[in-house]
Amino acid sequence: MAKIITQEEIAKHPCYNEEAKGKYARVHLPVAPKCNIQCNYCNRKYDCVNESRPGVTSGVLTPSQSVDYLHELSKVITNVSTIGIAGPGDPFANPEETMETLRQVKREFPDKIFCLSTNGLGLEPHIEEIASLGVTHVTITINAVDPEISAKIYRWVRFNRKVYRGYVAAKLLMERQLRCIPLLKSFGIVVKINSIIIPGINDHHIPEVAKVCKELGADIMNCIPLIPTAETPFETIEKPTAVTILRVREFSKEHLPMMTHCARCRADAAGMLGNDMMEAHQILQNVINTIPGDLNDKPYVAVATNEGHLVNLHLGEATHVYIYSKAEKGYNFEGMREMPKPGSGDMRWLEMAKILKDCRALLVSGAGENPQSIITNCGTKVIVMTGMIDEGLEGVYENKPIKSIAKPDAFRCGSGCNGNAQGCA
């Protein structure tokens, strides 16, 4: 049964209604780190504090942490109307995390507007449930409706555990994207199409995207100028000029209304559109680093360190860890434990988890999403930080915020972290 979206819901969504952007805040929940496609303009380098663009976040939340984060955030942002999931990868490359987040958040915040932003590849099987959970707005990024053009934009597409490239990948992605538009509309969901304006690649073609998507039922379009990003195939392409942007939007709006106030938000954006609350990043880290109550009976904390003073080793580099316990005054050094050698894939992280089974937390300067997940699921919380060991230990044992000096590579995809989202090295 299609949900009837009220005018109030439409009026309060700051991304769909320009008048709402100065009245209502939105929050993006970064619960989806993996992606199922690789765009030639995208480098999902998490936690680059100087960048505000999709794919950037200060950390990744679990579904239950998302609820805690929203409760903490609501104490300082009182006008949140909209809760969204937009990555930092793709929501439906992480379907379990995405759907469980929606279920838990909907129970706690039933009056909010819920939206999703996706490439559409894995969306179709979940449309009925997202509608039942009250998702009223979905954005699909469609950069072309011609596979010859799309093949220039995407390096690979992973679907049903198989990687596709070139024309075949582009055609598969396009077909699955376009099939979702009428299905979403059958449930009364507002559909927005995002298209990245890439000079010399698809800038002449985007009006055709608008035409095709309109015929399928899309409601609105957002034509977004390319951000040339380092370490991507499109890093040397010039930004589209103001004239190019105007031309693309003018021809495209013959078919679909244009959204022109996009702020190209981070995956952990929180606050007013174009004016995010920077304190939200610390709140996010505090929630991520909080030790669950059922781990507090474990006596030890493990630390990846070179010299025993600073947390300064990446998880993948740690050949050993220092073990600490809480003393009456301060902390006791209990000794060192050797870590499994590289080369055994996920077994390395499972063996590491066994060695650390009596540790409530493991402090590291960086870690891939996959090993973090494995070790945390085995009962030892992986905390990414940099700074003095005593500060990290105090944060764990006293349940205080852990502030890092800097963590430029704290959240990358993959344990060996080549940034290609195709798995751990």
Determine contact, residues 154/173, Cβ cutoff 8 Å: yes
Per the omega criterion (within 30 degrees of 0), is the bond before 88 cis?
A: yes
**Residue 424's pLDDT band (boundaries 50, 70, 90)?**
very low
Place of tokens 């034509």: 223
Least confident of 133-142, 147-156, 273-282, 387-396: 273-282
Pick the CATH number of 292-412 from 1.25.40.10, 3.20.20.100, 3.30.420.130, 3.40.50.720: 3.30.420.130
Q: What is the pLDDT of residues 36-78, one digit of tens each?
A: 999 988 876 644 444 445 566 767 888 888 998 899 888 888 8
The burial of 141, by beta-carbon neighbours within 10 Å (0-12 exposed, 13-18 middle, 19 or more buried), is given as buried
Confidence at 337, pLDDT banded by 50, 70, 90: very high
Give the pLDDT band (50/70/90) at residue 279: confident
CATH 3.40.190.10 correct for 7-284: no
Q: What's the pLDDT tens digit per position in 251-272?
A: 999 999 998 766 567 777 776 6
56 and 111 Cβ atoms separated by less than 8 Å: no
Read off the pLDDT of each residue in 312-341 and give the average, rounded to a whole number.
Answer: 93
The percentage of the chain sitting over the pLDDT mark of 90, rounded to a whole number, equals 51
Domain segments of the chain as ranges: 7-284, 292-412
Q: What angle do CA 130, 131, 134 make, to 5 degrees?
A: 90
Read off the pLDDT of residues 282-305 as tens digits, 9 standing for 90 and up.
788 777 777 766 566 889 999 999
For residue 215, what is the DSSP state?
H
Question: How far, in Å, CA of 37 to CA of 141, rounded?
Answer: 12
Q: What is the pLDDT of residue 34?
A: 87
Classify 85 as helix, strand or coil: strand
- The CA angle 422-423-424, to the nearest 5 degrees, is 140
What is the pLDDT averaged over residues 116-128?
95
Please give the Cα distance from 210 to 195 (Å, whole number): 9
Q: Say yes or no to pLDDT of 421 above 60.
A: no
**Residue 256 and residue 191: Cα distance in Å, rounded?**
11
- Two tokens, residue 377: 């699921």
The pLDDT tens digits of the residues spanning 9-18 come to 666 666 666 6
Rounded CA-CA distance 147/334 in Å is 60
Confidence tier at 231 by pLDDT (50, 70, 90): confident
Q: Which residues contact 109 (CB under 8 A, 6 or more apart)?
A: 70, 83
Answer whether 0.75 is exceeded by the pTM.
no
* Per-residue pLDDT band at 418 (split at 50, 70, 90): very low
Provide the angle, in degrees to the nearest 10, between the axes of the packed helices 63-73 and 279-289. Answer: 140
Query: What distance in Å separates the CA atoms of residue 382 and residue 292, rounded to the nearest whole number?
Result: 12
Nearest one of 288, 265, 287, 286 to 277, comparing CA atoms: 265
Q: Residue 329's Cα: distance from chain center in Å?
A: 40
What's the confidence (pLDDT) of residue 18?
62
Average pLDDT of span 366-376: 85
